[in-house]
Amino acid sequence: MPPRCGSGASWLTGLTMLLCASGCQLFRSQGPVPKGVAEARELSQRGMNAMERGDLPGAESFLAQAVKVCPSDIEARRQYAETLWQRGQRERALASMEKAQSIAPDDAQIGCRVGEMYLALGNVDDARQMADDVLDLSPDESRAWALRGRAEVAAGNFDRALADFHRALETVHDDRELLMETAELYRRMNRPQRALSTLTALCETYGPGEEPQQVLYLKGLALAALSRHDEAADSFALAVDHGSASSELLYRLGESALAAGRAGEAERAVSQALAMDPGHEPSRALKGRIDVAMGRGQGSGFRVQ
């Protein structure tokens, strides 16, 4: 919700923040250090510089050397694993992160990252077990609660997942990714009122007009499920204004607008949806309903008002 692996820039920013938050232990020294350690630190620094330039192959090379020179350097292994993961070498990345965990078994963040890698690779049981192991050591670790919740979602255990998400949100109540996942889970459980409440809380983490399109879309779905069609249409219309509109989004706008008695707006939305995708069956069906609502025979062409 990782942090998951996303773009190179966001991943690099997250890794840099992680290193700073942990005190950059890799580069903190207390007096003279052995030659091998100093060499590993220099190689790791070169690897980080390569990351900042967007040179992942170079970063991998430097970090691989750092790990070879100093196999017990946890931060070098962590960075090496993340670089491999970013480059798509996921099994090797997992092996490197597992080795880091074996060196520092009480490090909750490393344990969580191992579990996140398990889950991304489809190893749901291993991910859940890793979350449990971390929680045995750190019962308040929100990242582990979120990990276990995601593993429960993957296993189809929605009630358990929901409990884990809420436990994580007790600590990180404004975590946008986790709020989104919780709202989506409520939607899948056909609990639109709770989905709407969660999405409202999520919207409050953004400034006015800064809500992402997907948040507004999900909010529209929740409002529509509650038969609050005017508000749903407004939310879908805002979503259209916040990015490239898909035929599905335009269809949802048209459907809610029609249910709210806003037939002209519904017609414009479905016209755009069909212009984008003439074969979109929900929009084709909605077109017929709009024709009837506007006193025209079904199949008679559009007259935009």
pLDDT, tens digit (0-9, with 9 covering 90-100), for 190-220? 999 999 999 999 999 999 999 999 999 999 9
Q: Is the pLDDT of residue 5 over 50?
A: no
Average of per-residue pLDDT across 151-156:
98
What rounded mean pLDDT belongs to the chain? Answer: 87
CA distance 203 to 198: 9
Own/partner long-range contacts of 73-76 (Cβ < 8 Å, ≥24 apart): 73/26, 73/37, 73/40, 73/41, 73/44, 74/25, 74/100, 74/103, 74/104, 74/107, 74/110, 75/19, 75/22, 75/25, 75/26, 75/44, 76/26, 76/40, 76/43, 76/44, 76/47
Question: What pLDDT is attached to residue 72?
Answer: 85
The domain locations on the chain are 1-99, 105-170, 174-305
Task: Out of 48-52, 155-159, 283-287, pick the least confident.
Answer: 48-52
**What confidence score (pLDDT) does residue 35 get?**
66
Fold of 174-305: 1.25.40
pLDDT, residue 34, reads 62
pLDDT average, residue stretch 106-120: 97
* Structure tokens given for 24: 């950059």
91 vs 69, residue with greater confidence:
91
Model-level pTM greater than 0.75? Answer: yes
**pLDDT above 90 (res 298):** no
Distance CA(92)–CA(56), nearest Å, equals: 15
CATH 3.40.50.1010 fits 105-170, yes or no: no
pLDDT bin (cut points 50, 70, 90) of residue 299 is very low
Confidence of residue 23 (pLDDT cuts 50, 70, 90): very low
In degrees rounded to 5, what are phi and psi of residue 172? -120, 70
